[in-house]
Amino acid sequence: MVDVFIGLGSNVGDREGNLRKAIELLNEKMKLVKVSSMYETEPMYLKNQAWFVNCVAKLETDLTPKELLVYLEDIERKLGRQKSVRYGPRSIDLDILFYGNEVVEESDLKIPHPRIHERRFVLVPFVEIEPDHVHPIYGKSAATLLANLNSNEHVRKAGTISLRRK
């Protein structure tokens, strides 16, 4: 089993409900260890859309990185995600942030997620649950990455998720 961190986001429909349902589906095939609070966050790249609700989940899995990617894409389809405009509105977005301490560089899969260090909407919930996790490429803790972030992106706590664990 390996620890994985998944970033979740939604800005279409029942945003908080979409996150809860995605975590329930993740927990069907993996073991949920912990999940951050939910945070309402302004869109980063395409500003003319609804704000997102984001969180980060830590899970244990025996899926390979590729199998995990396929499973996340399946969950996105089940929850109504339709690929359209890059960074555009979506019912659910699931990103592999970290897969243990592995570094994966493939055309369709990059781990750690290549933009973690520039995204407050990822780092704030991540630091809530795992502040001392060291980025395997940058060699800095999540808390240090957040402290060094030069971004004025708005992130505010929006609630909590309490789910049963296996």
Catalytically active residues are 81, 90, 93, 95
Question: Bridge-partner residues for 56, per DSSP?
Answer: 7
Cα 157 from Cα 38, distance rounded (Å) = 6
Q: How many CB atoms are located within 10 Å of the residue 166 CB?
A: 8
Cα 137 from Cα 145, distance rounded (Å) = 12
SS3 36: coil
Place of tokens 């908080």: 16
DSSP state of 161: -
H/E segment holding residue 125: helix 120-129
